[in-house]
Amino acid sequence: MHVSFLLAAAAAITTAAAFASLPEHPIRGGYGYTRSPDRSVSLTSPRPHDVLDVTKLPKNFDWRNVNGTRYVTISRNQHIPHYCGSCWSFAATSALADRILIAKERHPHNKSSVDVHREVVLSPQVLLNCDKKDNGCHGGDQLEAYRYMKENGVPEEGCQRYEATGHDTGNTCTDRDVCENCLPSKGCFPQKTYDKYYVSEYGTTLGEQQMMAEIYARGPIACSVAVTDEFLKYSGGIFDDKTNATDVDHAISIVGWGEENNVPFWVLRNSWGSFWGEDGWMRLVRGVNNVGIEGECAFGVPKDDGWPTSTTIEEDEARQEEEDVINDAEEDQSMKSTLAGCRQKLHFAGGERVTSQLPHETMDLKDLPKTWDWRDVNGKNYVTWDKNQHIPKYCGSCWAQGTTSALSDRISIMRNASWPEIALSPQVLINCHAGGTCNGGNPGLVYEYAHRHGIPDQTCQAYQATNLRCDQFAICETCWPSKESFTPGVCESVKKFTKYYVSEYGSVSGADYMKAEIYKRGPIGCGVHATKKFEAYTGGIYSEHVMFPFINHEISVAGWGHDEETDTEYWIGRNSWGTYWGENGWFRIQMHHNNLGIEQECDWGVPLPDGSKPKDFVISIDYQGNKEAGGATVQDFLHMVALDEVSGQCHLFTDVFDRLVQLILAFIAVFVLYIKRKLELPIRPMKVWVLDVSKQSLGALYIHCISIILSIETVASTSTVYDECGIYFVNYVIDTTWGGFIMIVFLKGINKVAARFGVVSIARCGDYGDPPRLQIWWTQFFVYLVALTLMKVHNVLIIWVFFTDIAYFSTNLFSAFEDYRHLELSIVMLVVPGCCNAAQFWIIDSYLKIESNQLQFLGSRVDDSEKLCIGQNAVACFSQPPLFQGEESVKSVILL
């Protein structure tokens, strides 16, 4: 038992040390807003509050829903991949991006409806890099941000990805730090041509009425608030601070106002992720300067009615920066991936999961419209934001980008493009090998992962274009300033957030079937042969003859069209190479032929838009292997084998290998007991041995099944990705160490009570009478089961109380096996139990073995081994009082 206590203590100390650095709550202090002493403004037009009759403004107005249209852009999270006090840049760019969407619709400039309604997401990272009047991640002022945007402009997020760093943390402000591109072998370099968005005028607004007029007339504004402890903890409802805090230290944007139960409120957009507040937003009491919100706000007016200005950098400057970074590319392993490895052949490890009729089976294909584009359906845009897989460094993640874009668009369609916009995170798929890595992958496995695990939105996990570990931070994290540093601070996993699942998935090919799938359910993912010519595409209907297309890249297809002048049908595709590529990141490609194989391998999934899980299915297979109602085929079970391997997770009972290991474990256990019987003197009668072994085996199976179920269900019920095998390992260690001590207590108590009342069948474990009787076996087995149950309940309570620490410790303990999960399973299920049992047998032989002369008085009825109630592990040796006069006290060894 000394060894057991040492093991338990060592585990506790290691776990405590691992968590010592994590904060229990964010460190109080500034959150990123620092008021600039320069309050000068640049105004060229009348102020809305001077023109409008403020008293006639509507009682409720919200840019998230104006006559059924959402005019606000996607929610963001400034706190990942590490902490950065960049709220000022997010507030300014988010409010301006919303205004661009509003302004373009009011002033279309003879542009297409697709261009008018395209969502523009501006880059806050450029402000962090280049706005030297503000202090990067250590704070800034949204008014200064608008001043910078008037003078210099800002590009879209596809030019410069948010990295939570700034000029204050060592960043530079070169052309590459404004807009960059990265390619395999070439490295990262400044993009020569791209679009910038400018501010024509900017200013401040003060007080409730001025703020309402500005919001109503031109769009959202950027304001500052004082963050209190209750503000941090806000989860919903109309917030009303009671501390009278007005010392503002955080920036947000306001998009509207309303009234509920006679309580007026503002509608705020924060930048702390969708898991905070009301999907990342807040309602704050209005009209009383609560948390200082009505003290002073800033606004910027988009230049040229929200339409961009094309920017081209000098050739010499671009060439010099390319030379400066080429060596970095040679050292970066992720750069060595090529387009040929970006997308593997489409396959589903267990086959397609189709639970409803396919679109082409439910409609007449002749009824399909001549043109269809989810970017413009009756004047509404249903597609989500555009992405760039190539920054902040090259990553061959097209397999994750195309699929998540298609799924996100489908969620938008199911939600009628309403607020909030959901954009699934491709980085989660990369982290957990849910189809592949930055070196390429299989899009089919994305849907299988989404069906089983779900995918959170991008505010949970920022795209970093790199292969990260699938640990507790890999799915959803947030970061806060620590005592040691304001930035980068310290990160922790988010416990409560929404994941989006896929109910069914499959493949589709051929123009007509693709059209039906897109028309009925939304965009699909497709593979193409990305050639050098395709990389250089800048617009128009693309065509290229490739005799034998080699599918190496994943895109999504959102519709089709018809060019009347050339009588050419074409597909409308979305790429993930930034909005400076092609037609704002999109392309048109000829239908039917000369189209890089786009109609050969397409994939689709049906998402659940409310974050609910798919209906559970139970394996129910008839003797022919056919699927029964409510059940699944053998393929539905076998597909988990490959899925578990690519997802980088060790699973206990969903893999053929898993079950094989457990069968081997059971065989070894029985075989060892049989060998032990052969070596015993005297040898137990076969009938007694069978009764002993059956009791032992059933008890061991009972505890084993409980541990497996607990491990699987516990991991499944948490948002954080923990290791099932690691949780089982902890169960096993606790059962065989501390659990042993608990069993001693329980069994001693039961033994004493039985002896006092003269219940020989219970008090004499292993004695079934002469001849052995099954009734006595049942009695002893029941008592044994009760003791096991009490022990397990006690241990489960320990695990429940310390679950977070235990799960973190066990997951990290086996993190080195993330690419060798079958090896981990073998260690957990075979090696560790074998070593533990060997150690226990050694202890028994050395210290606990019963002297044979103490057992002779029982004669032929009971031999040495009959005093052994054998189960899974040896845990105790206790004394029984004499049951009959003249009988000596017998020490029995209990093996659990």
Query: Distance between CA atoms of 205 and 602, rounded to whole angstroms?
Result: 51
**Catalytic site residue 479?**
no
Rg for the chain (alpha carbons), in Å? 33
User: 739: alpha, beta or left, given left = phi > 0 and alpha = psi -120 to 50?
Assistant: alpha
Instruction: Output the six-digit token pair for 3.
Output: 């060894």
Instruction: Output the six-digit token pair for 815.
Output: 């993190």
Nearest residue to 429 (alpha-carbon basis) of 392, 385, 468, 459? 468
Determine which one of 453, 553, 639, 704 is catalytic: 553
**Catalytic site residue 575?**
yes
Nearest residue to 116 (alpha-carbon basis) of 156, 71, 159? 71
Do residues 750 and 762 touch, judged by C-beta distance below 8 A?
yes
Sequence-separated (6 or more) residues with CB below 8 Å from residue 74: 119, 121, 384, 385, 421, 423, 458
Q: CA quadruple 768, 773, 774, 779: dihedral positive or negative?
A: negative
Q: CA quadruple 409, 412, 413, 414: dihedral positive or negative?
A: positive
Nearest residue to 418 (alpha-carbon basis) of 65, 62, 61? 65
Cis peptide before 488 (omega within 30 of 0): yes
C-alpha distance from residue 105 to each of 67, 68, 189, 257 (Å): 14, 14, 34, 22
CA 784 to chain centre: 42
CA 189 to chain centre: 31
Cis peptide before 359 (omega within 30 of 0): no
C-alpha distance from residue 189 to each of 124, 321, 474, 619 (Å): 19, 6, 28, 52
**Catalytic site residue 398?**
yes
Residues forming beta bridges with residue 583, ordered by sequence position: 586
Pairing between β-strand 263-269 and β-strand 250-260 as defined by DSSP bridges: antiparallel
SS3 574: strand
Sequence-separated (6 or more) residues with CB below 8 Å from residue 86: 32, 78, 124, 127, 128, 136, 137, 140, 162, 164, 166, 271
SS3 569: strand
* Measured CA angle at 735 (ends 729, 739), to 5 deg: 155
C-alpha count within 13 angstroms, C-beta hemisphere, residue 219: 27
Q: Which DSSP symbol is given to 250? A: E
Determine which one of 137, 398, 432, 650 is catalytic: 398
Q: Which DSSP symbol is given to 888? A: P
For 27-55, the three-class secondary structure string (H helix, E strand, C coil) is CCCCCCECCCCCCCCECCCCCHHHHCCHH
Nearest residue to 738 (alpha-carbon basis) of 794, 789, 813, 801? 794
Determine which one of 575, 795, 837, 873 is catalytic: 575
SS3 481: coil
Active-site residue numbers? 398, 553, 575
